[in-house]
Amino acid sequence: MAGTVSREVRNALAAVAISVVAYKLVKFLWTVFWEPLRLLRIMTKQGVKGPPFRPLIGHIFEPVAFAESFPEVLPLGNYDNLSPTITPQYALYCPKYGKSFVYFWATNARYVMRDAETAKEVFVTNHGSLKRIDIEETITSLVVGRGLFTLMGDKWAMERKILTPFFHQDALKGMVEAMVEATAIGIKKWEQTVALAGGSAEIDVQPDIHKISGRILSCTAFGGDFEKGELIYELQSEVSRQLFINFRNPLSWIIPNYRKIPTPGNRYIDTRNATIDALLRETIVGRRDVVRSGKTSSYGDDLLGRMLAAASEGWDGNTSEFNLASVLNNCKLFYFAGQDTVANTVVFAMLMLAQHPEWQERARREVLEVLGSEENFNASALSRLKVVGMILNETLRIFPPAPTNTRQATKDLQLKKVFIPKGMILELPITALHQDRDYWGDDVAEFNPGRFENGVSGACTHPQAFVPFGLGPKFCVGSNFALMEAKIAISMAIRRFQILPSPNYKHHPIFSIVARPKYGMPIILKALSTTL
């Protein structure tokens, strides 16, 4: 009797084990073969082409190898080459398969739409039928947290409503003085270096501009603790660099939940994120405790204060409420994204000014005419800097901070030109749209700020062909803040210096969370002969 029972138990356990293995096998085959091939068949029937299907890893490493095949120093002056070291997938596949194609990022099918009208249909008209890609949300959140940038749906709408007032034009007017003062510290450092060198010096402006941007962010959004903000940003940068190292390991794409395995790289990320969270908790609790102690009745009008005034208690990041965890995540977002995007835009703008002295001189004349001394810097005057604005727009066209925008369809979408099946990842190739001759004309390869003289409508043939801050309702909430900061930095720099190209600059832009120069930005700064 006991032997019979024992056999029945063993048989039952074996049946369970076989069922589990069979389920896992079916799920694996579904994920790796059936679903990707289903999506590919649907697109192929509509005439959409792409590179041959590769299971499991897809085409992740082919564009990487293509980017690495280019020399360390690339030529300057050709801006319709689809930026092969920033977005190699477009430079590699667009010439072969056309403006729209399907390729695979691991097991995920991606439909690239280099068509402004289709992009509008997807990201504007049908934005409610899209979601963030799970793997990208997970990766991005490791650097910038699970704040406004990674959220979708009702929680995103709630947080957007809370954060938007900080970036209104009326609120920005009160930030100009702080932005000017923060920028002046970095400019003063350059003046001292140039003076010691006899009136002209080569300076790698990239780290200094990041410090200027970080100081502005600390002063306007987080109460002025620049040293802590600088440490948080550097830790986030270290996390970002390690993530890109992890991406090059095929095991990170093959093994499920690879991020949870305690590899040296994963532990490196976890320890730094723990430090970042501790620093941000200290800042949040410190501001909250000042109010609770009765020393003041307000959390303040900066971004942190506005968030704390709206936040409920609790640190549960999975709740639908806007609580202290939401405050922490959005602090993490703006410390990094709020600094990295605008700083690198200013860095590339200085490169363009050095390469195109005629536009630099036009901008300088405008700054002197409109602003005069720094005491005249105000929001109204900054809005009249038309030439500076044109230069920044052209810089954003050539070097958009975020070169792609991706979403996943949560249901079938029938568009005018194509049917999008549920589950398909939609990729908006911002860099490729910005370099498309059909939208920008025969001078698309040139640096020509004059194309924006009559605004975006006069610069290109479709408004969705220029989307440096994204497209649709998730358009970057901080775009006006970024442009004001960039205008101030550029205006103050060209008032004091002639910006000249350095023979030591190695042009090799790359993508690491945002577009940035790989080898810094050495620039020759020459003091102007008169005090401006």
User: Per the annotation, where are the binding residues?
Assistant: 476
Annotated binding site for heme: 476
From CA 490, how far away is CA 484, in angstroms rounded? Answer: 10
Q: ∠ CA 137-143-144 to the nearest 5 degrees?
A: 75
Q: What are phi and psi of 466, to 5 degrees?
A: -125, 100
Could you tell me which residues come within 8 angstroms of residue 335 by beta carbon, excluding any fewer than 6 positions away?
217, 222, 229, 232, 233, 236
Cβ distance 113 to 426 under 8 Å? yes
Cα–Cα distance for residue pair 190/211, rounded to 1 Å: 13
- The answer to whether residues 400 and 431 touch, using CB atoms and an 8 Å cutoff, is yes
Listed in sequence order, the residues at least 6 apart from 398 whose beta carbon sits closer than 8 Å to its beta carbon are 79, 348, 352, 434, 435, 447
Provide the residue type at 285 as one letter: V
d(CA 348, CA 361): 17
Q: Confirm if 86 and 403 have CB atoms less than 8 A apart.
A: yes
Cross-strand partners of 109: 104
- Integer Cα distance of 470 and 433 in angstroms: 12
Q: Which of 50, 247, 214, 268 lies closest to 138 in space, CA to CA? A: 247
Nearest to 530 by CA among 496, 484, 481: 496
Please state whether 252 falls in left (phi above 0), alpha (psi between -120 and 50) or beta.
alpha
Distance CA 99, CA 490 (A): 35
Reported as type and span, the H/E element at residue 90 is helix 88-97
Full DSSP string of 459-510: HSSSGGG--TT-SSTTS-TTHHHHHHHHHHHHHHHHHHEEEEE-TT----EE
Determine the Cα–Cα distance for residues 37 and 39; give it in Å rounded to an integer: 5
Nearest 5°: the CA angle 434, 438, 443 is 70
Whole-angstrom distance, CA of residue 374 vs CA of residue 181: 10
What is d(CA 524, CA 194) in angstroms, rounded to the nearest whole number? 9
Cβ–Cβ under 8 Å, residues 90 and 112: yes
